Structure 1
């Protein structure tokens, strides 16, 4: 498991502004967080670096557990959660997103 990148507030704001127009690329279905879904999240992170994941579960505590599991498993950084949508960032080897200096 990789460790998450620590972001300054300025960097988080920059990522939030980039994420604003994004649609969720991964939607958790009735089966919840399966290995297939985790693989899909990993692929999306490698390809896009900044993604949104929709967790439609009604139970807030359960959603938080799912977010924590995703972050721990991917080594991504939780940028924000709005409603049921988690915005996740993980720099790829290609380095597509240039973060402002902290």
Structure 2
């Protein structure tokens, strides 16, 4: 679980990032979760965009992705989900 200070720090770090994945009307599948998992291992902090043709709740989608990849939801703002997971091999982000 992240503290408020850690979430603020991660939001600051994620501000300049562009979304790496897009969730469309087909939703989330196993292949997408595997790709997000690999990307989190390399980058630790990513953004996922929810397209407007997806009618599922953004909070439910964020929870599904977080559970499927063992990540933490940092923020949901608009149609963007920010996810964080500490890397096992390439630990780049030092949390306060």
TM-score w.r.t. length of structure 1 = 0.84
Residue 23 of structure 1 aligns to a residue whose secondary structure is coil
2:59 is matched with which residue: 51, 59, 64?
Answer: 64
- Residue 35 of structure 1 and its aligned partner are, at CA, apart by 1.3
Residue 51 of structure 1 aligns to a residue whose secondary structure is strand
- Residue 63 of structure 1 and its aligned partner are, at CA, apart by 2.3
| Highest RCO, 1 vs 2 (Cα 8 Å, sep ≥ 6) | 1
2:77 is matched with which residue: 77, 82, 88?
Answer: 82
Q: How many residues are paired up?
A: 94
Unmatched segments (≥5 aa) in structure 1: 1-5
- Residue 96 of structure 1 and its aligned partner are, at CA, apart by 0.9
1:30 paired with 2:25, answer yes
Aligned-CA RMSD value = 1.4
Runs of 4+ in 1 over 4 A off after TM superposition: none
TM-score w.r.t. length of structure 2 = 0.89
* In structure 1, distance between residues paired with 2:25 and 2:32: 11
- Residue 39 of structure 1 and its aligned partner are, at CA, apart by 1.1
